Amino acid sequence: MDMLLNPLDRRHRLRDDIPVVPGAFPLVGHLPAIVCDLPRLLRRAERTLGSHFWLDFGPAGHLMTCVDPDAFALLRHKDVSSALIEEIAPELLGGTLVAQDGGAHRQARDAIKAAFLPKGLTQAGIGNLFAPVIQARVQAWRDRGDVTILRETGDLMLKLIFSLMGIPAQDLPGWHRKYRQLLQLIVAPPVDLPGLPLRRGRAARDWIDAQLRQFVRDARAHAARTGLINDMVSAFDRGDDALSDDVLVANIRLLLLAGHDTTASTMAWMVIELARQPGLWDALVEEAQRVGAVPTRHADLAQCLVAEALFRETLRVHPATTLLPRRALQELQLGQRRIPAGTPLCIPLLHFSTSALLHEAPDQFRLARWLQRTEPIRPVDMLQFGTGPHVCIGYHLVWLEMVQFCIALALTMHKAGVRPRLLSAVEKGRRYFPTAHPSMKIRIGFS
* CA trace torsion 313, 136, 260, 35 (10° rounding): 60
Selected binder of ligand HEM within 74, 88, 89, 97 (CB under 6 A): 97
Q: What's the 3-state SS for 4-24? A: CCCCCCCCCEEECCEEECCCC
Q: Are 257 and 154 in contact (CB under 8 A)?
A: no
Q: How many residues bind ligand HEM (CB under 6 A)?
A: 26
Q: Are 105 and 97 in contact (CB under 8 A)?
A: yes
Number of residue whose CB is nearest ligand HEM: 394
| DSSP β-ladder status, 344-347 and 62-66 | parallel
Cite the DSSP H helix spans in 25-66.
31-49
Selected binder of ligand HEM within 76, 109, 276, 297 (CB under 6 A): 109
Binding flag, residue 254, ligand HEM (CB under 6 A): yes
Selected binder of ligand HEM within 385, 399, 405, 432 (CB under 6 A): 385
**Minimum distance from CB of 17 to ligand HEM (Å)?**
27
Selected binder of ligand HEM within 394, 420, 434, 438 (CB under 6 A): 394
Binding flag, residue 321, ligand HEM (CB under 6 A): yes
Dihedral sign (CA 124, 381, 370, 153)? positive
Selected binder of ligand HEM within 255, 272, 323, 332 (CB under 6 A): 255
Quote the CA–CA distance of 26 and 163 in Å, as a whole number. 43
- For ligand HEM, give the closer residue by CB, 20 or 74: 74
- For ligand HEM, give the closer residue by CB, 3 or 329: 329
DSSP 260: T
Binding flag, residue 263, ligand HEM (CB under 6 A): yes
**Minimum distance from CB of 112 to ligand HEM (Å)?**
7
Q: How many CB atoms lie within 10 A of CB 212?
A: 21
Please give the residues from 27 up to 86 whose contact with ligand HEM meets the rule CB under 6 A.
75, 82
- For ligand HEM, give the closer residue by CB, 97 or 332: 97
Quote the CA–CA distance of 65 and 76 in Å, as a whole number. 17
**Minimum distance from CB of 153 to ligand HEM (Å)?**
11
Please tell me whether 304 is known to bind a ligand: no
Stretch that binds ligand HEM, among 60-68, 288-296, 352-360, 383-391 (CB under 6 A): 383-391
Quote the CA–CA distance of 174 and 171 in Å, as a whole number. 5
- For ligand HEM, give the closer residue by CB, 53 or 130: 130
C-alpha count within 13 angstroms, C-beta hemisphere, residue 184: 22
- For ligand HEM, give the closer residue by CB, 88 or 98: 98
Cite the DSSP H helix spans in 145-260.
149-165, 172-183, 197-221, 228-238, 245-258
Helix or strand holding residue 325 (H, E): strand 324-328
**Minimum distance from CB of 393 to ligand HEM (Å)?**
4
Q: Mask of contacts with ligand HEM, 323-342, x by CB under 6 A? A: -x------------------
Stretch that binds ligand HEM, among 136-144, 182-190, 256-264, 414-422 (CB under 6 A): 256-264
Quote the CA–CA distance of 341 and 16 in Å, as a whole number. 11
Q: How far, CA to CA in Å, does 192 sit from each of 35, 172, 199, 418?
A: 21, 27, 6, 49
Q: Are 409 and 294 in contact (CB under 8 A)?
A: no
Quote the CA–CA distance of 3 and 182 in Å, as a whole number. 26
Selected binder of ligand HEM within 20, 74, 235, 258 (CB under 6 A): 258
**Minimum distance from CB of 352 to ligand HEM (Å)?**
11
- For ligand HEM, give the closer residue by CB, 382 or 418: 382
**Minimum distance from CB of 262 to ligand HEM (Å)?**
4
Binding flag, residue 294, ligand HEM (CB under 6 A): no
Please give the residues from 132 up to 191 whose contact with ligand HEM meets the rule CB under 6 A.
161
- For ligand HEM, give the closer residue by CB, 334 or 393: 393
Quote the CA–CA distance of 319 and 383 in Å, as a whole number. 9
| DSSP β-ladder status, 13-15 and 18-20 | antiparallel
Of 15, 29, 89, 24, nearest in space to 58 by CA: 29
Peptide bond into 19 cis (omega under 30): no
Chain centroid to CA 233: 25
Selected binder of ligand HEM within 398, 400, 422, 436 (CB under 6 A): 398
Binding flag, residue 393, ligand HEM (CB under 6 A): yes
Stretch that binds ligand HEM, among 17-25, 86-94, 260-268, 350-358 (CB under 6 A): 260-268
Residues contributing to the annotated binding site for heme: 392
Q: Which residues bind ligand HEM (CB under 6 A)?
A: 75, 82, 97-98, 109, 161, 254-255, 258-259, 262-263, 266, 315, 320-321, 324, 384-386, 390, 392-394, 397-398
